[in-house]
Structure 1
Amino acid sequence: MRAVIQRVSNASCRVGGNITGQIETGFLVLLGIEQEDMEEDASWLAQKIAALRIFSDENGLMNKALADVNGSILLISQFTLFAQTKKGNRPSFIRAARPAQAIPLYEYMINELTKLTGKPIATGIFGADMKISLVNDGPVTIIMDTKDKDNH
């Protein structure tokens, strides 16, 4: 499971002209789910995201977490995070989980983040053609991968 976390001052998702999710201060999280991923991966990643300290404190240091700034999360499913581009010019997405596996894990991630943050999680629509708007604050962008959880 891979997440691209962007610290934002606002972000929104539109599908067919309708807003499906929007936030002010917080994280836009693009989530890619791989074939080998399981609930334990989602739990680990949700805990890391919820505790991630990338908001500035009074000294300008990245010391504050989402809860410290009353921030929110916009979670967007994005299978293209597992694009393989080694051969040719057309990416392959063979490592990305199929919807039958990915949708339950995406929903599990929503539930985990809701529990950890105590706030509803704004979302897109799984598999839809989504238009994402954001103002990346900083810019600050962090990439996390559950394959790194065993590497201390």
Structure 2
Amino acid sequence: MRAVIQRVSEASVTIGGKKTADIKQGLLILIGIEDADTKEDVDWLCAKISKLRIFGDEDGVMNLSVTDVNGDIIVVSQFTLHAATKKGNRPSYIKAAKPDVAVSLYESFVQCLKNETGKPVQTGEFGADMKVALINDGPVTILIDTKNKE
């Protein structure tokens, strides 16, 4: 699994002209699932993100998690995070998991974040054409790949 975690002062998702997710301070998480991903990847990534200290404390030091600051979360599925660009100019998405595998892992990840943070987690819609808007705070953007745990 690959995740792009962005610390935001606000973010939203619009599908078909209708806003389906809308947050203030928190995290916008873009999540890409590949064929080799398992529930173990979901659990590891969820625990890592929920405890990730990327919010400023009273001294401005990144020392607080999204839970510590009572931040909100949006999770958006994004298979393009597994784009292979080594050959040619047209990305290949051969490693991206098909919906029959990806949807259950995506839903499991969202549920895990709800459990870990004790907060609701807003989402996009798996497979939909989404318009994602955000104001990246910092900017702070972190990339995590569960295949690079060590």
Q: Which position in structure 1 is the counterpart of 2:77?
A: 77
Q: Aligned partners of 2:19 and 2:115: how far apart in 1? A: 24
Q: Does 1:57 align with 2:47?
A: no
Q: Aligned partners of 1:39 and 1:55: how far apart in 2? A: 28
Q: Aligned partners of 1:12 and 1:61: how far apart in 2? A: 26
Tell me the secondary structure at the aligned position of residue 67 of structure 1. Answer: coil
Tell me the secondary structure at the aligned position of residue 147 of structure 1. Answer: helix
Tell me the secondary structure at the aligned position of residue 68 of structure 2. Answer: helix
Report the Cα offset of residue 20 of structure 1. Answer: 1.3
Report the Cα offset of residue 58 of structure 1. Answer: 1.2
Task: Letter of the 1:10 partner, please give it.
Answer: E
Q: Which position in structure 1 is the counterpart of 2:19?
A: 19
Question: Share of identical aligned residues, percent?
Answer: 59
Report the Cα offset of residue 86 of structure 1. Answer: 0.5
Give the length in aligned residue pairs: 150
Kindly provide the CA deviation profile for residues 11-69 of structure 1, in whole angstroms up to 9, marking residues without a partner as x.
00000011111111100000000100011100100000000000011111100111111
Map 1:118-129; keep pairs closer than 5 Å.
118-129=118-129
Q: Which position in structure 2 is the counterpart of 1:36?
A: 36
Q: Which position in structure 1 is the counterpart of 2:113?
A: 113
Q: Aligned partners of 2:129 and 2:86: how far apart in 1? A: 26
Q: Which position in structure 2 is the counterpart of 1:90?
A: 90
Q: Which position in structure 2 is the counterpart of 1:101?
A: 101
Tell me the secondary structure at the aligned position of residue 143 of structure 1. Answer: strand
Kindly provide the CA deviation profile for residues 124-145 of structure 1, in whole angstroms up to 9, marking residues without a partner as x.
0000000000000000000001
Q: Aligned partners of 1:102 and 1:75: how far apart in 2? A: 14
Q: Aligned partners of 1:56 and 1:134: how far apart in 2? A: 19
> Taking structure 1 as the reference length, what is the TM-score of the superposition?
0.97
Taking only aligned residues, the RMSD between alpha carbons, in angstroms, comes to 0.5
Superposition misfits of 4+ residues, deviation over 6 angstroms: none
> Taking structure 2 as the reference length, what is the TM-score of the superposition?
0.99
Q: Aligned partners of 1:136 and 1:56: how far apart in 2? A: 14
Kindly provide the CA deviation profile for residues 75-127 of structure 1, in whole angstroms up to 9, marking residues without a partner as x.
00000000000111000000000000000000000110000011111100000
Tell me the secondary structure at the aligned position of residue 67 of structure 2. Answer: helix
